[in-house]
């Protein structure tokens, strides 16, 4: 897998790494990086041996990060399909409210999905800390597949660092 290149969002900070080969091929999480520029938060999730989106049922895979910012909890998700899709949800208890369908990149050649979240969608301001929820003893990054009402979690990891918005 090629190393991700710096993007227009500037330098990305690695918030966590996951061991190779602890998930199935094309669903093996490798890292999570976060950066900011142009009033957007970039969330980049690395996947070992990532496959191009092919479409079909179910849409494969879903790759997501659950994070905290300013006392609120959000979920950023990339879904591989014939046309990759990107989602932003706010979590309140067990309820998910979709806030946006942000732009993003599903780059199977370089092995990552990148989600660009507008600061205004999450109330982000300079100096605020973005933290994965994994520090509370649970995982916050996962690759998963939905089969009707069931969800299969193929690989999971917890972030270990925070990102401060410049």
pLDDT digits (tens, 9 = 90+) for 41-68: 999 999 888 776 655 555 567 889 999 9
pLDDT of residue 79: 87
pLDDT of residue 139: 86
Which stretches of the chain score pLDDT less than 50?
Answer: 1-9
pLDDT of residue 116: 97
C-beta of residue 39 within 8 angstroms of C-beta of residue 120: yes
DSSP letter string, 18-57: --TTSS-TT-EEEEEEEEEETTEEEEEEEEETPPPP---S
pLDDT of residue 4: 36
pLDDT of residue 23: 85
CATH number of this structure's domain 13-157? 2.60.40
pLDDT of residue 25: 78
pLDDT of residue 10: 62
């Amino acid at each position: 897998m090629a190393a991700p290149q710096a993007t227009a969002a500037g330098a990305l900070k690695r918030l966590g790494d996951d061991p190779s080969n602890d998930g199935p091929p094309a669903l093996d999480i490798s890292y999570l990086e976060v950066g900011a520029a142009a009033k957007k938060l970039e969330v980049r999730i690395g996947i070992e041996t990532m496959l191009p989106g092919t479409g079909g049922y179910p849409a494969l895979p879903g790759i997501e990060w659950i994070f905290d910012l300013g006392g609120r909890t959000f979920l950023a998700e990339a879904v591989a399909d014939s046309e990759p899709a990107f989602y932003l949800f706010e979590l309140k208890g067990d309820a998910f409210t979709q806030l946006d369908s942000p732009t993003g990149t599903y780059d199977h050649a370089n092995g990552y999905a990148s989600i660009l979240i507008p600061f205004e969608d999450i109330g982000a301001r300079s100096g605020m800390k973005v933290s994965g929820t994994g520090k509370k003893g649970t995982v916050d990054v996962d690759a998963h597949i939905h089969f009707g009402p069931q969800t299969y979690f193929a690989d999971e990891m917890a972030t270990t660092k925070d990102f401060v918005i410049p």
